[in-house]
């Protein structure tokens, strides 16, 4: 298993997500078909063939900036996760 296998394209740690922890009914954004069908960052990352959004030349785009700074602590942590990946590469 790769380090990013349980991290979504935007940086959310799947192990801390309610769908994953409580219901285990989410296959993660790389494989999930129904729960995440309306996620714009997922669609964009998949179309570009990215492992995570930090690989994108536009990171963080307007969509992600809004997401990361919407007041949800999990979303801000997602940004920190992506930054951590970038620092390692």
For residue range 12-47, what is the model confidence (pLDDT) as tens digits? 988 887 766 666 667 677 776 676 677 888 889 989
Helix (H, G, I), strand (E, B) or coil at 26: coil
Q: 70 versus 86: which is more confidently predicted? A: 70
Task: Let me know: does 63 contact 71? Beta carbons within 8 Å.
Answer: no
Residue 1 has pLDDT above 60, yes or no: no
Domain count for the chain: 1
pTM of the model: 0.81
Please check whether residue 59 lies inside any domain of the structure: yes
The mean pLDDT of 64-71, rounded to a whole number, is 95
Please check whether residue 8 lies inside any domain of the structure: no
Residue 32 structural domain: 14-88
């Amino acid at each position: 298993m790769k380090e990013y296998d349980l991290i979504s394209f935007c940086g959310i740690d799947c192990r801390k997500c309610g769908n994953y922890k409580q219901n285990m009914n989410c296959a993660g954004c790389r494989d999930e078909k129904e729960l995440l069908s309306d996620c714009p960052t997922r669609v964009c990352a998949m179309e570009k063939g990215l492992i995570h959004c930090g690989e994108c030349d536009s990171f963080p785009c307007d969509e992600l900036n809004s997401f990361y700074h919407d007041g949800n602590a999990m979303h801000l942590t997602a940004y920190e996760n992506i930054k951590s990946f970038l620092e390692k590469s």
